[in-house]
Amino acid sequence: MAEKKLSFAIFGNDRQAKESASIAEQLKCFANRNAEIYMEESFYIALKKAMRRDLDVNSVFEGSNFEADYAVSMGGDGTFLKAARFVGPKNIPIIGVNMGRLGFLANVLPDEIPSMLNDVYAGNFDIDERAVIKLESENEQIKAYPYALNDIAILKRDMASMISIHTSINDEYLVTYKADGLIVSTPTGSTAYSLSNGGPIMVPQSGILSLTAVAPHSLNIRPVVISDEDVIKLEVESRSHNYLVAIDGRSEKLKEGTTVTIRKAPFRIRILKPRGHHYFPTLRSKMMWGADTRE
């Protein structure tokens, strides 16, 4: 019986094009399965320039203008977040190939691609569904893609003084953060920017969000964990009369007085992972979590 035909939309980091020989070998693994290969345009152009020849792909696409059975992220976690942004509500699984260093989201090593493809074609894998959050504004249009897999951060601009962030949960006043910023993080993002600011590690599927201040100007402000069904409303005061909002690291300037709302998105990002792959071993190995340096 002929093997089923599958299609893969491939995303990459343009800077990874310098590893073109390695990436070419990885692409061969897909070609050997007679898969249809679609490649994101900027990555294709960077690879073509590095390899000085055309690549054997079925087509090139821009942004989210594609249809495929699976998306493949070739890079680190930043590349994975880009792929997740373009996959959005398409409901297709993302395969993260770790070409970087830490690779918390990208959990497949390059030399594991053949065995990963064997599992994909055999249906021998698990799907890890991750919550996404959305930024909305009442009085100013958000130009950037409004969904975040990791976090949404409200931040002061450059060398401006601290900002005041009036925060309500489900229309009930919580507190006014006087700080350099505030990070609203999903469990997926809890091991990223939020963690570096003292936020809690949250296990995927826990159905919660965290609010963590950036450099708070009061020692009695601590991270708060809430349900991901809650709606967060933020109004910012700033001496510079504007502030930044960063959606998975993509920054946009908003005017003072702009009220923003953060809520759970109506879709999830689906991450393909090898069967038997568990979160806690990854936490220990990637983050050196719980390691005793005395041993």
Catalytic residue numbers read: 77
**Contacts for 258 with CB less than 8 Å, ≥ 6 apart:** 137, 138, 139, 140, 235, 236
Two structure tokens written together for 211: 């609010």
Query: What is the separation of C-alpha 5 from the centre of its chain, rounded to a whole number of angstroms?
Result: 28
184 in Cβ contact with 247 (< 8 Å): no
2: helix, strand or coil? coil
Comparing CA positions, the residue from 61, 105, 48 lying closest to residue 79 is 105
Residue 113 CB neighbours (<10 A) = 21
Two structure tokens written together for 219: 């020692």
**Contacts for 268 with CB less than 8 Å, ≥ 6 apart:** 129, 130, 131, 132
Between CA 178 and CA 191 the distance in angstroms is: 24
Give 194-218 as a DSSP string: HHHTTPPP--TTS-EEEEEEES-SS
Residue whose structure tokens are 């890890």: 128
- Alpha carbon separation from 32 to 24, 26, 114, 152 (Å, rounded): 12, 10, 10, 40
